[in-house]
Structure 1
Amino acid sequence: MKWGFINHMEKINELLGNLEQEEMDRDYPIAWERTHATSCAQMGRLLAQKRGVDLELAALACSLHDIGRWYTGLQRDHALHGEEPVRRFLAGSSLTDENKKGIIQAVIRHSEKDKVGSPLEEIVKDADILDCYFHGDEINKPYHVARLKQVMEELGL
């Protein structure tokens, strides 16, 4: 395991801890955000391994995909609201500008599950839908169901 990802996860946990101290109404509790970020990172690693994408990059993008909701507390438009926070989070990173741009785009577009994007965007979308499904969320939007079915078949599940 590369130490860079561990450092990023420590930063994410610190950030979520700080946000947990803020008094605000949230659609999802910070405990869920922490769990979802961590398990999506692992789903992302699995999908990246299968699809030939950098595991560390996929794990980081998957762990950060809901950062907009972390700051606003709201599900509505959280992907779009993630752009500025993810830019700030990645600003001090040693990632290349191209990799930063890829993560930012994956965050912004992860809710567009009815559209096909870059390989990294697709990993984030699929990791998100898989993680929600395995945590017991009801998947009922037709394009979510179709994506879930496709990724489950890909994984032989």
Structure 2
Amino acid sequence: MKSLQRYEQVKDYVYTKYTKIYNEPLRQEALTHTAQVDTCITILAMARNQNVEIAKIIALFHDFAQFTQNCSHDEHARLSSILANRYLTETDLFKTKEIDDICYAIAQHSHKEQYDSPYCELIKDADILARFFTDPTMELDHKRKQRLLDACDDIHS
């Protein structure tokens, strides 16, 4: 596996921002959910032969605006994508294509009823897996349940 130095730098940035969230329940949700999605996306990326570092960076930023700006759920994916783009561009560590892939996946991750690029599918499935692991009794519509089952099949294969 390649070095995860860029991921570590992004992780430090994201988690530093999360530790500054004043609202304790929101801070705990940010830290916990992000870590869970990060773990799930790592397993899925390995199972699907996707770039693990890029996938993990997507996981770090996927709900960033929701947690740091307390924006509406309807806007969080788009705003998280914008904030990720801004930060990743400033670091000068990423190629334009990598930033585009990361930000597109973040922007699309709430559209779980649609199928999209491999990175989009990784974050959608990792998000559902993480939510399921937190609450296995949660209600899932047919498409989300099928996503969950397909993700588990990918991990099992």
* % identity of equivalent residues: 20
Q: 1:10 to 1:108 in 2, by over 3 A?
A: same
Q: Whose RCO is larger (CA < 8 A, sep 6+)?
A: 2
Q: Tell me whether 1:145 sits opposite 2:142 in the alignment.
A: no
Q: Which whole-Å CA distance do the structure 2 matches of 1:75 and 1:31 have between them?
A: 17
1:80 to 64, 78, 89: 78
Q: How does 1:58-73 map to 2 (within 5 A)?
A: 58-73=55-70
Q: Which has the higher helix share?
A: 2
- In 2, are the aligned partners of 1:133 and 1:139 still within 8 Å (CA)? no
Instruction: Tell me the CA shift for residue 91 of structure 1.
Output: 2.1
Q: How does 1:1-157 map to 2 (within 5 A)?
A: 1-18=3-20, 20-21=21-22, 29-73=26-70, 74-93=72-91, 94-136=93-135, 138-156=138-156
Task: Output the TM-score relative to the length of structure 1.
Answer: 0.87
Gaps spanning 5+ residues in structure 2: where? Answer: none
Contact 2:129 2:148 in 1 (8 A): yes
Question: Per-residue deviation at 1:43?
Answer: 1.2
Query: Separation in 2 of the partners of 1:109 and 1:7?
Result: 24
Aligned length: 152
- Kindly indicate whether the alpha-carbon contact (under 8 Å) linking 2:55 and 2:119 is maintained by their aligned counterparts in 1: yes
TM-score by length of 2: 0.87
Residue 149 of structure 1 aligns to which amino acid in structure 2? L
> In 2, distance between residues paired with 1:31 and 1:89?
23
SS, match of residue 79 in structure 1: helix
Question: How far 1:112 moved relative to its partner?
Answer: 0.6
The verdict on how the C-alpha distance between 1:7 and 1:131 changes in structure 2, with shifts beyond 3 A counting, is same
Runs of 5+ consecutive residues of structure 1 not aligned to the other structure: none
Distance in 2 between residues matched to 1:71 and 1:132, nearest whole Å: 19
The structure-2 alpha-carbon separation of the partners of 1:139 and 1:65, relative to structure 1 and needing over 3 Å to count, comes to farther
Amino acid at match of 2:90: G
1:117 counterpart SS class? coil
Distance, in Å, in 2 between the alignment partners of 1:39 and 1:83 is 19
